[in-house]
Amino acid sequence: MLSVRGLTKIYANRFDAQAGGVRDVSIELPAGSFFTLLGPSGCGKTTMLRCVAGLERPDAGRIAVPDRVLFDSATGVAVPMNQRGIGMVFQSYAIWPHMTVFENVAFPLRVAKGRRLAKQDISRMVDQALTTVGLADYGDRPATRLSGGQQQRVALARAIVHRPQLLLLDEPLSNLDANLREEMRSEIRRLHDAFRITTVYVTHDQAEAMVTSDRIVVMNHGRIEQVDDPVTLYNVPRTRFVAGFIGRTNFLDGRVDGDRIVFDGFTVPAGSAPAGVAGASFAVRPQTIALHRTGRAVADSGWWVEGRVTERAYLGEYWEYVVRPANGGLRLRVTTTPADVYQADEAVWLEIDPGRIARIPSPEGAA
């Protein structure tokens, strides 16, 4: 549905010599899919979205949908934004305060280039869009008399009223409170499933990306780090950045010494480590580590590490512990169920299952 090849857009920064934007980015989006561009502030995700929308002119690259090329630096093609047939929801919603809800949603139908609609058709399409987002009786209400969540729904209705081929969402939930944000991210996914509009969603919120997406594009410093479905991205990160950005992670950096891997405070058999990236660095999720009061009497393929609880915090749905191995300075975060209660300074054993950890590139300069 959307093909982006070699997209580059650089913003020079004369203050600290850093440059923002995107560099040689390429992605292919299947029709009807929900793609999320995920990354920290300044990673280039919004720049990429604005280039697709036509709000920014790329320095180089090619952007195309099945029926036409939207931008091509090689041939000079650059279709204006209002002729791309794309729906977009901005972070600020961009609701016009002097218009009613109906007029806000009807606006793109009335200004569509090359398409003149009858008054009754506009009324029917707007009513359908408002009903879809749960605002069927709000058409006559002034836009200034809407809550944040209602404004967000109006912006969604306006974006889908003309049934675009492609829907772009630029951090549309960032201005909402936590509870409403959870409600609206489910609503956005419901709308996608109902209309199967190919959707590109920009966010820095990992939970939003994991809940809504078919596939996630993780970006960092203007480049793509990894593209995968949420489950693979979480359990099999390919880079250190992805492992640290998606969820909470313990990093174990060691060195191979014969048939052993030596970490700070303990060693494990090298043969039990997962295959993959060369080196001896691993990403271990806190919830994949089990806590025990005694070690296992019979050795198995798991990694058993003696340690001591140094910190603990009760977070309602789980306990979070910080455990320091007995013979080193490493600190490992572990989460358990509310029923698994350990005291500060209590001696414990960590059980790490090698089958549930990911091997990642070692930090630069590590052995």
Q: Domain ends where: 244, 274, 297? A: 244
Q: Is 165 exposed, middle or buried (0-12, 13-18, 19+ CB in 10 A)?
A: middle
- Are 301 and 181 in the same domain? no
Task: Give the residue from 244, 211, 249, 248 showing the smallest Cα distance to 230.
Answer: 211
Range of the domain at 265: 248-360
pLDDT tens readout for residues 171-187: 888 777 778 788 888 88
pLDDT computed for residue 292 by the predictor:
93
- Are 88 and 116 in the same domain? yes
- Are 220 and 321 in the same domain? no
- Are 199 and 255 in the same domain? no
366 inside domain = no
Structural contact between residues 35 and 213, judged by C-beta atoms closer than 8 angstroms: yes
367 inside domain = no
Cα 332 from Cα 166, distance rounded (Å): 44
231 inside domain = yes
Cα 182 from Cα 199, distance rounded (Å): 18
- Are 234 and 349 in the same domain? no
280 inside domain = yes
Whether the per-residue pLDDT at 140 is higher than 60: the answer is yes
Q: What DSSP string describes 77-111?
A: EE--GGGS-EEEE-TT----TTSBHHHHHHHHHHH
Write out the two tokens for 264.
């700070």
- Are 281 and 158 in the same domain? no
10 Å Cβ neighbour count for 263?
Answer: 21
- Are 31 and 113 in the same domain? yes
**Which range among 79-93, 284-298, 346-360 has the greatest average pLDDT?**
346-360
pTM: 0.85
Q: What DSSP string describes 243-254?
A: HHHSS--EEEE-
365 inside domain = no
Mean pLDDT (the chain, rounded): 88
The CATH code of the domain that includes 90 is 3.40.50.300
- Are 222 and 264 in the same domain? no
- Are 116 and 47 in the same domain? yes
33 versus 173: which is more confidently predicted?
Answer: 33
107 inside domain = yes
- Are 198 and 258 in the same domain? no
Strands 34-38 and 215-220: parallel
30 inside domain = yes
The CATH code of the domain that includes 304 is 2.40.50.140
In the chain, how many domains are there? 2
Whether the per-residue pLDDT at 48 is higher than 50: the answer is yes
- Are 160 and 279 in the same domain? no
Q: Distance of CA 89 to CAs 92, 118, 173, 245, Å? A: 8, 25, 10, 25
- Are 94 and 228 in the same domain? yes
Q: Domain ends where: 218, 244, 270? A: 244
pLDDT tens readout for residues 297-356: 555 667 899 999 999 999 999 999 999 998 888 899 999 999 999 999 999 999 998 889
Q: Domain ends where: 244, 273, 300? A: 244
367 versus 280: which is more confidently predicted?
Answer: 280
